[in-house]
Amino acid sequence: MLIKKPTLIRPSEITPPSAYLNRRQFMQGLAGTAAFAASASALALPAPQFDKGLPVYAGPDWLQQQLRAGVSNKALSTDEKVAPYQHAIRHNNFYEFGTGKGDPAKNAQDFITDPWSVEISGEVNRPGTIGLEDLIKPHQLEERIVRLRCVEAWSMVLPFVGVSLATLLKQFEPTSKAKYVEFTTLNDPKQMPGQRSVFSSLDWPYVEALRMDEAMHPLAFMAVGMYGNALPPQNGAPLRLVLPWKYGFKWVKSIVGIRFTETMPATTWNKMAAQEYGFFANVNPAVSHPRWSQATERRLPSSLFRPNIIDTQPFNGYGDEVAHLYSDLDLKKWF
């Protein structure tokens, strides 16, 4: 079979990731100079340019301003090739909007993500409901390029913009009783067709949780943007977790609830099939899922005749940073 270039998007229209990254480095170089550092238009994250015809998600004005003032966190970024934007916004597991990879991009476009608020509850000194703007405004946004490893044995490299999770959580002053933190996705069957499906075996709302020391780890991240713009609804707008050492299903999307607890919360996939989905869900090539060997992964996008098969690394390659969190755990048992 002959593989032809796409007809819809001419190659000349696509911004190669290298150019996109170079531009960013160039701008950062400029930002470092006195002239730019002093000026209000010192854009560390330039407004990204995408292929014509692809949807762009700007988000509310306050967020757009904050995105433009964001900086790149090189230390916590991989230098691997970033997935092309059109694939990142059209290859999504977000069952609230359908189980097909293309369903969320189709069904989530009218999803209302502004205004948005998050309820903070449980073992904290400062519980309550907080608007997204109030939650994000006090913090400088940073970009991190990370590996997303799905439990279905595929992976993608994605540039997220957001705030370190620890910074975000500390402002609510978790008490000494807070041993776990639980994140809940919006439950709104009117907007989310997947939640209306009678054939679904998942309990809504979607809930996943972390141990407190995991949540406070510098790699744990709360994203509000992607590719220099706001998060697209199909990617979990307006607020989602990014936990690079854990399988993607832990990366809770469209978060409306953060609850601190003393005991381990019941989590969605674990409730559905405990023998298949552990609470921790750390990427581990040594523990297979009944449906997928986790020893290797297919890095997407992948070409047909030379599938991009790579060996999966323990903790998705972030072992140096996070392995110590689990030194007292049998990872075959606590998968």
Residues that bind another protein (CB under 8 A): 1-8, 83, 87-88, 90-91, 95, 99, 101-102, 152, 154, 156, 197, 199-202, 272, 288, 290-293, 295-296, 298, 300-302, 304-307, 309
Q: CB of 297: closest distance to another protein in angstroms?
A: 11
Q: CB of 103: closest distance to another protein in angstroms?
A: 11
Asked whether 141 and 224 are in contact (CB, 8 A), the reply is: yes
CA distance 38 to 34: 6
CA distance 319 to 90: 29
Nearer to another protein, 53 or 290 (CB): 290
State how far the alpha carbon of 283 is from the alpha carbons of 70, 147, 199, 292, in Å: 29, 11, 29, 12
For 146, the 3-state DSSP assignment is strand
| Closest by Cα among 320, 102, 99 to 199 | 99
Sign of CA dihedral 79, 84, 87, 88: positive
Nearer to another protein, 81 or 101 (CB): 101
| Closest by Cα among 9, 42, 12 to 28 | 42
Asked whether 239 and 255 are in contact (CB, 8 A), the reply is: yes
CA distance 179 to 35: 47
Nearer to another protein, 272 or 329 (CB): 272
Q: CB of 37: closest distance to another protein in angstroms?
A: 38
Give the number of other Cβ atoms within 10 Å of residue 261's Cβ.
Answer: 17
Q: CB of 218: closest distance to another protein in angstroms?
A: 29
Q: CB of 205: closest distance to another protein in angstroms?
A: 14
Q: CB of 160: closest distance to another protein in angstroms?
A: 17
Nearer to another protein, 202 or 325 (CB): 202
Nearer to another protein, 33 or 293 (CB): 293
Asked whether 252 and 195 are in contact (CB, 8 A), the reply is: no
Q: CB of 272: closest distance to another protein in angstroms?
A: 8
Nearer to another protein, 154 or 180 (CB): 154
Nearer to another protein, 35 or 290 (CB): 290
Q: CB of 85: closest distance to another protein in angstroms?
A: 11
- 199's tokens: 């054939």
Nearer to another protein, 105 or 181 (CB): 105
Strand partners, 226: 160, 229
CA distance 253 to 236: 4
